[in-house]
């Protein structure tokens, strides 16, 4: 019997953390009760991108987009929509309904309207645990085309012509990289998927692995055929248990259908894939450290050259591509380089996935054509800044990137333009920073992360990052001078120019970009002894204004009992006892507590 409706339930990690795991059980219970279970197909999907509004339920054929769904809502959706055919308007995502209560198609919803999906084309639309659904969406046809109709050299030429650049951050042309390994003769070659996503706030790779694991397997095999490799590894951090589970299941299913193993599609091409788990070391995102980890060594960077394409895993030619890069490859092979080249700009073809976070209304995953402006991503897609706050900057590239100020928001998102603006593409983290943030404190956050994650092999990174963090702590405490800022800048340039690997070389980027664009904030900390963002505890004081209504919530929540006052009377703070924790400000119902 053909089902009359498909119900898609987002089962990405974010939605699961918000209770999505129990939604399917609720659906089954109520559909059974209504005796319509056989008429409705329930599909667990990957991430649909709009993480801020999850968990999601999408009902087809109407395409009704229900948001922030809880188990208590399922009964009404089943009874009203699936049984009686009446949409439950109060549960529909606000932007998915017009003023006249018409349901918008998903690609007409504001969040999705300017997006274009290639890497995430299947995420949120297929069941990642069902290989047949992937095949129904043209899955493994790119691999079939490569094996049956093209030589390895033709595959590399097609990839080169497509203009796909590495989505892991460096932006090196994928086809050119493959060509290096192809031209190095060896009895054994390897391809590796770098799924060691470690940037704070980045979750693009996790979503693709969870929502479309077969695209990664197919991409790996196409790369393996192109360079002459028979073995592939997926290096994924152990903190991604759902992604690991999906990959294991996908490999098992592909082997059962003969899509992984010997003589694939009846050809002489054989290929096997193994999963290797990383222990969460940020440095293992760097390709030579990743190789060392797979080999059973401590994850530490190696000198280059030789590059992995010549001498990589166990000394053999090795290609390493990240998750997003590999997710693009099957679509390019099936549809052709010309198709891919129609999206993006002349030097930046295709799309880029970003994890949009920070001070933004619609946090989540977005995939946009390269060349889209930062302003379009933040305001048209992301919905702008909460509470109508002003935007101060946007940090791209995570701890290896930099802050781009508001007046540069109209630059196109391209590898070169972001570098010119003092940042970088990175793997795709995009953190929005509003007017209430402190740029010195954000620098401290990233440097603290880098200090912890440095492998310690080279002195500039091991010692230089510690010293930079010390200087930032001195500045944020109000004990620094203008000379401290100059010394910080000099040290940052030295660490950038002399560290062994890309991670150490990029560690000073947040400092250098913020000194370039927000030097006045650093100077305010050391000259005026104030924190313009009201964040650095040593330089702020909490005061209760005459807006106070005497509700006593601040006094009740103060951990050191430094607030005094009676009911319905103005309260006061004992500055000598205040530890500046901000608990009072967080609970005040009338915003009567300010920082100065």
Sketch the domain layout of the chain as residue ranges. Answer: 5-113, 137-341, 351-434, 439-528, 541-595
- The string of pLDDT tens digits covering residues 62-113 is 999 999 999 999 999 999 999 999 999 999 999 998 888 888 988 899 999 9
CATH of 5-113, picked from 3.90.1570.10, 3.40.50.720, 1.10.260.40, 3.40.30.10, is 3.40.30.10
Beta-sheet strands, E only, within 61-206: 64-66, 190-195
Cβ neighbors of 486 (< 8 A, separation 6 or more) are none
**In this structure, CATH architecture of domain 351-434:** Roll (3.10)
User: The pTM is what?
Assistant: 0.92
Run of H or E including 353: strand 351-358
Per-residue pLDDT, averaged over 242-264, amounts to: 97
Q: Which fold has domain 541-595?
A: Alpha-Beta Plaits (3.30.70)
pLDDT at position 503:
87
CATH hierarchy code of domain 439-528: 1.20.1440.230
Domain 137-341 in the same topology as domain 5-113: no
pLDDT band, very low/low/confident/very high, at 560 (cuts 50, 70, 90): very high
Distances (CA, A) of 21 to 44, 70, 209, 213, 543: 9, 10, 18, 20, 44
Distances (CA, A) of 156 to 181, 227, 347, 567: 11, 8, 18, 75
pLDDT at position 101:
85
Mean pLDDT of the chain: 95
The Cα 322–Cα 161 span in angstroms is 20
Per-residue pLDDT, averaged over 158-185, amounts to: 95
CATH class, range 137-341: alpha beta
pLDDT at position 1:
57
Per-residue pLDDT, averaged over 218-228, amounts to: 98
């Amino acid at each position: 019997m053909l089902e009359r409706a498909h119900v898609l339930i987002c089962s990405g990690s974010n939605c699961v953390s918000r209770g999505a795991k129990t939604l399917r059980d609720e659906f089954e219970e109520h559909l059974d009760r209504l005796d319509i279970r056989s008429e409705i197909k329930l599909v667990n999907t990957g991430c649909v991108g709009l993480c801020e509004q999850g968990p999601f339920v999408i009902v087809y054929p109407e395409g009704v987009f229900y948001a922030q769904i809880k188990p208590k809502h399922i009964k009404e959706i089943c009874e009203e929509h699936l049984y009686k055919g009446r949409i439950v308007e109060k549960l529909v995502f606000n932007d998915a309904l017009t003023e006249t209560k018409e349901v918008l198609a998903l690609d007409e919803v504001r969040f999705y309207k300017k997006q274009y999906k290639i890497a995430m084309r299947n995420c949120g639309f297929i069941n990642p645990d069902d290989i047949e659904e992937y095949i129904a969406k043209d899955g493994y046809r790119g691999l079939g085309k490569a094996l049956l109709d093209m030589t390895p050299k033709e595959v590399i030429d097609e990839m080169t012509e497509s203009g796909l650049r590495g989505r892991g951050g460096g932006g090196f042309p994928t086809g050119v990289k493959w060509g290096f390994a192809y031209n190095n003769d060896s009895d054994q070659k390897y391809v590796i998927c770098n799924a060691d996503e470690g940037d704070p706030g980045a979750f693009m790779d996790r979503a693709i692995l969870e929502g479309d694991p077969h695209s990664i397997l197919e991409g790996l095999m196409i790369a393996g055929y192109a360079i002459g490799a028979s073995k592939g590894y997926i290096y994924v951090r152990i903190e991604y248990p759902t992604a690991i589970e999906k990959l294991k299941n996908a490999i098992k299913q592909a082997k059962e259908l003969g899509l992984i193993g010997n003589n694939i599609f009846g050809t002489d091409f054989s290929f096997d894939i193994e999963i290797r788990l990383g222990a969460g070391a940020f440095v293992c995102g760097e390709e030579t450290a990743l190789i060392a980890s797979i080999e059973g060594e401590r994850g530490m960077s190696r000198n280059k050259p030789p590059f992995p394409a010549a001498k990589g895993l166990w000394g053999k030619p090795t290609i390493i591509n990240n998750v997003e890069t590999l997710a693009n490859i099957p679509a390019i092979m099936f549809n052709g380089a010309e198709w891919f080249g129609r999206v993006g700009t002349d030097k930046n073809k295709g799309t880029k996935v970003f994890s949009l976070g920070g001070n933004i209304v619609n946090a989540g995953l977005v995939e946009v054509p390269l060349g889209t402006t930062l302003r379009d991503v933040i305001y048209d897609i992301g919905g702008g800044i909460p509470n109508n706050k002003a935007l101060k900057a946007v940090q791209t590239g995570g701890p290896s990137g930099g802050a781009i100020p508001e007046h540069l928001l109209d630059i196109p998102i391209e590898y070169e333009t972001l570098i010119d603006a003092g940042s970088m593409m990175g793997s795709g983290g995009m953190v929005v920073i509003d007017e209430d943030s402190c740029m010195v404190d954000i620098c401290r956050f990233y440097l603290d992360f880098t200090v912890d994650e440095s492998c310690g092999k080279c002195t500039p990174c091991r010692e230089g990052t510690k010293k930079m963090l010390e200087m930032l702590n001195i500045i944020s405490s109000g004990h620094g001078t203008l000379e401290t800022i100059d010394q910080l800048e000099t040290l940052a340039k030295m660490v950038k120019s002399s560290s062994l690997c890309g991670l150490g070389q990029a560690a000073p980027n947040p400092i250098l970009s913020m000194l370039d664009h927000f030097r006045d904030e650093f100077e305010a900390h050391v000259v005026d002894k104030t924190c313009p963002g009201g964040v650095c505890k040593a330089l702020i004081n909490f005061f209760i204004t005459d807006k106070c209504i005497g509700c006593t919530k601040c006094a009740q929540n103060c951990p050191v009992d430094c607030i005094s006052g009676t009911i319905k009377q103005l309260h006061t703070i004992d500055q000598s006892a205040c530890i500046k924790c901000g608990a009072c400000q967080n609970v005040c119902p009338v915003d009567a507590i300010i920082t100065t």
